[in-house]
Amino acid sequence: MFHKKIIKNIDYGCLCPICLNYFDQRDNSLLTFDHNPPKSLGGKDDVLTCETCNNVAGHKIDKELLTALKEIEINGFKANTKFRKRIKNDSTKNETVTADFTIGKNNEIVMNLIKQDSNPVAYDNFIKSKSMSYSNPMFFTDEPFYSGWTTGYKFTIEKEQKSDERLSSICLLKIAYLIAYQKLGHIFLFNQNLDKVREQIKFPEREIIKNPFWIHFDFPDECLGLNLITIPKELKCFLIIFDLETKAGKY
Ligand SMILES: [Zn+2]
């Protein structure tokens, strides 16, 4: 998830943008170059943080955001995704059957039932629960061999939520904070209003900022990066816009 490079030329030392600890040349081994946003989410630009912040704050919350985005993709049956789910219908009673779903690039869905991971009785009952339905072939004139009868299975998919929404939003906060630091440099770190943000990133489990929020909106590309909102005065803030990319899509 992260990579290290030998860091040369830190003649004057450097500050970790998250904990604000100072490191001089002798402390090279305590510093880490990492992608921001995380590499697993399509990030390319490097940012230098200390190893502790990278491990404690970084990886734990990066993983949460990746899991949250994967869940959005799975629950939305997004193209180019693969996932395993538990499914059930009336025939399986309170038991479930395990199925692997593959969503192709044109949104075609392939479902494979996994016998060894399913309740054996529920599995057999599910197979037998195939239903036939009839649609008037007159309405399907494009399909010359269509008899009107189709077979299918009706079932529901068990929804499970593994990701922690709050930790995911702290990861978004960390990405935005580090982008602002990358653009503005060390001067950005001396803004005392950001102490709380740093504290929150350092201790993601504590509730330092109540309900951190973010907007999922397709802003034009020219807005990417750091934006300063100055009017109205009450909404004065930094607005940081960035893309995230997973194997299945862009956000
Ligand atoms: Zn640090």
Measure 26 CA to ligand 1 centroid, in angstroms. Answer: 16
Question: How many whole angstroms separate alpha carbon 171 and alpha carbon 67?
Answer: 12
Measure 32 CA to ligand 1 centroid, in angstroms. Answer: 10
How do residues 176-208 score in pLDDT, each as one tens digit?
999 999 988 888 888 888 999 999 999 998 999
| Cβ count near 66 (within 10 Å) | 19
Please say whether the beta carbons of 156 and 88 come within 8 A.
Answer: yes
Torsion of CA 104, 105, 107, 111, to 10 degrees: 0
Measure 30 CA to ligand 1 centroid, in angstroms. Answer: 9
In this predicted structure, what is the pLDDT of residue 16? 92
Kindly give, in sequence order, each residue whose CB lies less than 8 Å from that of residue 122, ignoring residues fewer than 6 positions away.
88, 91, 92, 93, 95, 96, 97
Measure 184 CA to ligand 1 centroid, in angstroms. Answer: 18
In this predicted structure, what is the pLDDT of residue 6? 45
Q: How confident is the model at residue 221 (pLDDT cuts 50, 70, 90)?
A: confident
Question: How many whole angstroms separate alpha carbon 243 and alpha carbon 245?
Answer: 7
How do residues 55-104 score in pLDDT, each as one tens digit?
877 778 998 998 888 888 888 888 888 889 999 999 999 899 999 999 88
